[in-house]
Amino acid sequence: MTTFVHIGIGKTGTTSIQGWLHDHRCQLAEHGLHYPQAGLLGAAHHGFFDLETSEITESSFDSLAAELAVHADRSLILSSENLAFAPEKVVEQLRATIGSDSRIIFYVRDQLSLIPSIFLQWVKDGWDYGGSIEEFFARHEDSFDFCKLIHPWAMRFGDGAIDAHVYSPNVVGANVVQHFLSTIGLQVATVQDIRLNPSLLPEFVDVMAELDAAGTDRHVRQTVVECLVRASVALAPSSTLNLVSDAMRVRIQSRYAPSNAEFAMRYLSPRERAYLI
């Protein structure tokens, strides 16, 4: 049976997709699909390797192999945006576990919107975002190179296994969960559009940077973040601040144009290419 491996990238509706899959496991089973318990951390399969050290979690792979044996009559779905950054040894072990009959589902997004979106996620979560979007980009520019990210997957599974889509309303429509389910061949009449990971507005970055520079207690920080996220949801329609300066825009476009063109030609349908290049 086919295994569907959804590898992100983050900020393309991954949390909403994972939440739906986790909450509808019984419905998936009725359609011959299985969302494994192995490797689950929350609603996503983040437990197969350590994102910081790249160390493989052998027990998660052992559990996955056991579930594969029990549910051999079902197609499996794995979902983790961390897998977009999986080193070759993790991809190799995953292929050895699930076999070659797999589809690697990868949503990509125009870097001009992806980079600030992920930066805001790091600010919200209190990770080391570098204090500014310019510093964040300088530290992590390879993390937005889709050709580099997909390379180990294409090497192990082949280009034909890569099922890539552009995260754009022109492609996925208004509901990315519905688009994902259609991609795996599951037609569901109505999927409620619930955003499980709302973003922080760019207008609040300076507030958080001041708090972080002052060494604010993490519990106080979390309380502030929760208030600002609620405000962000309410005020989103009136947000006008663009974190990406004109100079940074030029750097981003120059940095990713060749890679995007190659990725689009290799992995995207002709209709979708225009939304990445």
Contacting residues for 119 by C-beta, under 8 A, at least 6 apart:
129, 133, 136, 137, 243
- In this structure, are residues 109 and 171 in contact, taking their beta carbons and an 8 Å threshold? no
Please, what is the average pLDDT of the chain? Answer: 96
Q: Which tens digit of pLDDT belongs to each residue from 89-139?
A: 999 999 999 999 999 999 999 999 999 999 999 999 999 999 999 999 999
What local confidence, expressed as pLDDT, does residue 192 receive? Answer: 75
Percent above pLDDT 70 for the chain? 99
Residue 14: HSE in the Cβ half-sphere, 13 Å Cα cutoff: 27
Summarize pLDDT for 50-75 with one digit per residue, the tens.
999 999 999 999 999 999 999 999 99
Separation of alpha carbons 78 and 5, rounded Å: 5
Whether residue 265 has pLDDT greater than 90: yes
Pick the closest to residue 122 from 143, 150, 146, 147 (CA basis): 143
Q: Which residue has the tokens 């919200």?
A: 124
- Residues 196-246: tens digit of each pLDDT: 788 999 999 999 999 999 999 999 999 999 999 999 999 999 999 999 999
Residue from 23, 257, 242, 30 nearest 120 by CA: 242
pLDDT on residue 187: 87
Please report the pLDDT score of residue 214 as a whole number: 95
Backbone CA torsion sign across 226, 227, 233, 237: negative
Tell me which fold the domain 3-252+260-270 belongs to: Rossmann fold (3.40.50)
